[in-house]
């Protein structure tokens, strides 16, 4: 008899969570989506609600959850500066209390648990590209610290539960990811540029635009999640998941203008505090597991632009 795997996805109505829920359902899993809808949206998973293998629960992971499950993907946490700085204390609690509660659930049920960590644990890196062995250069008291240090503490908890309680863990450090279902007003560079271009507003670059980022398309990233979760028990991570191809911020702005056919001009503003100059993953370890991104930036941008065209941007930005 085929046993259906019961999988819990916290933050399941968010950008990455919704894509992951869809993928797990396609893979034949029974999916429990948990979200408090602070940044997640019901519209991201509305099309899944009729599926008999899909359930959605409104719940905040800073409170314990009692379920019977086989696997947990812990994605709950606002991930863009504009959202995680809105209530920084709650952001830290989501990362830390959320990790404790989900690890406790994994310990009780014997579930395997995946942590969506972040390249932000490296801070403003002094090593380029960043390997998993790099311990980072992070400001513990800056405006981004609620997220950066919250995620660092969550990693600490995961490895302590692994060592102390033998919980089966998988930790992924996620680099910039983009694609359909991104929040249009999350203040991230890809969504900023696309919404500005589609509305023919000036495209805002902070700094001189020479700072670089690497952009991973969401489908590639979700493949990485699944490969890491299904890897051998001794593979705990952390594993970098991201696209190692670098683009300058100015280059991204020019591509978006070209692909949208926009008449937007580019304007420059001062760089905000603690903003890293460059960020690029060393994905040697991920490649050893059989993963690397395959979707080119232009192809991914076209899909993302098509998604943003379906939204009422004038209404969203008027609110």
- Annotated active-site positions, please? 147
8 A C-beta contact, residue 204 and residue 189: no
* β partners of residue 9: 33, 73
8 A C-beta contact, residue 246 and residue 278: yes
Ramachandran class of 290: left when φ > 0, alpha when ψ lies in -120 to 50, beta otherwise: left
């Amino acid at each position: 008899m085929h046993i259906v795997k019961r999988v819990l996805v916290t933050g399941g109505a968010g950008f990455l969570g919704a894509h992951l829920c869809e993928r797990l359902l396609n893979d034949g899993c029974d999916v429990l989506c948990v979200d408090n809808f602070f940044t997640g949206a019901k519209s991201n998973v509305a099309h899944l609600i009729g599926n008999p293998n899909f359930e959605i629960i409104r719940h905040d992971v800073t409170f314990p959850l009692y379920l019977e499950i086989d696997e947990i993907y812990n994605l709950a946490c606002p991930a863009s500066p504009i959202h995680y700085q809105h209530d920084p204390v709650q952001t830290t609690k989501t990362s830390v209390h959320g990790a404790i509660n989900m690890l406790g659930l994994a310990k009780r049920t014997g579930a395997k648990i995946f942590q969506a960590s972040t390249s932000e644990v490296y801070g403003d890196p002094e090593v380029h590209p960043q390997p998993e062995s790099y311990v980072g250069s992070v400001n513990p008291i800056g405006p981004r610290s609620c997220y950066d240090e919250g995620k660092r503490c969550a990693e600490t908890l995961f490895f302590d539960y692994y060592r102390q309680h033998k919980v089966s863990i998988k930790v992924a450090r996620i680099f910039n990811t983009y694609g359909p279902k991104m929040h249009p007003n999350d203040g991230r560079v890809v969504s900023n540029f696309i919404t500005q271009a589609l509305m023919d507003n000036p495209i805002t670059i902070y700094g001189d635009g020479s700072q670089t980022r690497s952009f991973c398309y969401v489908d590639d990233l979700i493949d990485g999640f699944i490969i890491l979760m299904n890897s051998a028990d001794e593979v705990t991570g952390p594993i970098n998941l991201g696209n190692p191809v670098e683009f300058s911020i100015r280059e991204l702005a020019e591509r978006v203008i070209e692909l949208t056919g926009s008449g937007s001009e580019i304007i420059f503003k001062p760089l905000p505090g603690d903003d890293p100059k460059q960020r690029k993953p060393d994905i040697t370890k991920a490649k050893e597991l059989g993963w690397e991104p395959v979707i080119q930036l232009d192809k991914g941008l076209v899909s993302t632009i098509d998604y943003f065209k379906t939204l009422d941007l004038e209404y969203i930005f008027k609110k």
